[in-house]
């Protein structure tokens, strides 16, 4: 167990720890899918019609909306509790505590590349197994395509903007929210596997699609392993970015090369 994630408070009853985990999960979902989405909708409705249409149909507009959604979610889920404890309750030590909880106080170390590579391969292998087992469920559709929101990309500029929106932004924001805030909070009072399963189940559920949920559930397990073993969120961000980069390649680059593995 890494130093940054060591259990540092008296162990509470299991029901109390699970209740806290449920509360943290509800707060994250409220911030990510509730408050941030609502504020984004209000913003789109407030701007002129032509601007709203441009934001929702153009590649750069979708990038800006994605960035705004993630920014609001991070500020609400992480920033609001931090502000309340740090400035309302006047606890200056909260700054260092929050950095440790998020895993951003420990820098990326090159020696962790080996573990990252193992987790990268392990993720793909485990996903194949879980997806094969999931096909036994009558409601599971392995061929359902995820709508990533970018269509009819024209030219290098659109491809670059979509790359930033899909490969750069999600790993940063989602790692801060899930393997940083949620896993870090849970791990302070729970064992590794309880913290990992709760974090990974929620991460899969918020993707709102069965086949994508299985994939992201497995991915989250390996991201939590990286967070646990390295004590740093940066390595998890890199693995998340690599995974999204592979998906981006097969969605947008491979067809340009005449490769059509994803329909």
Residue 263 Cα distances to 62, 173, 195, 243, 256, angstroms: 22, 28, 36, 19, 13
Instruction: Please write the tens of the pLDDT for every residue from 122-157.
Output: 999 999 999 999 988 888 887 787 878 787 787 899
The Cα 60–Cα 64 span in angstroms is 6
Q: What pTM was estimated for this model as a whole?
A: 0.91
Q: Are 253 and 167 in contact (CB under 8 A)?
A: no
Q: Which two tokens stand for residue 68?
A: 């705004």
Virtual torsion, Cα 54, 60, 61, 64, nearest 10 deg: -160
Nearest of 59, 4, 1 to residue 180 by alpha carbon? 4
Distance of CA 177 to the CA centre of its chain: 6
Please tell me what DSSP assigns to residue 111. Answer: G
Instruction: Please write the tens of the pLDDT for every residue from 57-67.
Output: 899 999 999 99
pLDDT classification of 1: cutoffs 50, 70, 90: very low
């Amino acid at each position: 167990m890494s130093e940054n994630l060591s259990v540092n408070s008296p162990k509470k009853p299991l029901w109390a720890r699970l209740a806290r985990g449920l509360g943290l999960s509800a707060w994250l979902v409220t911030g990510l899918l509730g408050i941030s989405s609502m504020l984004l909708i209000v913003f789109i409705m407030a701007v002129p019609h032509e601007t709203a249409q441009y934001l929702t149909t153009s590649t750069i507009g979708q990038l800006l909306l994605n960035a705004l959604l993630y920014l609001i979610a991070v500020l609400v889920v992480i920033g609001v509790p931090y502000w309340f404890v740090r400035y309302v309750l006047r606890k200056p030590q909260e700054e260092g505590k929050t950095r440790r909880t998020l895993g951003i106080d420990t820098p990326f170390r090159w020696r962790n590349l080996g573990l990252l590579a193992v987790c990268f391969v392990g993720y793909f292998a485990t996903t194949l197994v879980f997806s094969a087992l999931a096909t036994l469920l009558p409601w599971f559709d392995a061929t359902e395509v995820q709508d990533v929101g970018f269509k009819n990309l024209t030219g290098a500029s659109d491809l670059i903007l979509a790359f930033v929106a899909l490969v750069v932004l999600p790993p940063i924001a989602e790692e801060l929210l899930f393997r940083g805030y949620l896993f870090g909070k849970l791990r302070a009072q729970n064992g590794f596997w309880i913290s990992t399963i709760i974090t990974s189940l929620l991460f899969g559920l918020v993707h709102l699609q069965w086949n994508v949920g299985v994939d992201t559930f497995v991915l989250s397990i390996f991201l939590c392993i990286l967070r646990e073993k390295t004590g740093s969120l940066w390595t998890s961000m890199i693995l998340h970015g690599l995974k999204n980069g592979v998906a981006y390649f097969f969605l947008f680059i491979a067809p340009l090369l005449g490769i059509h593995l994803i329909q």
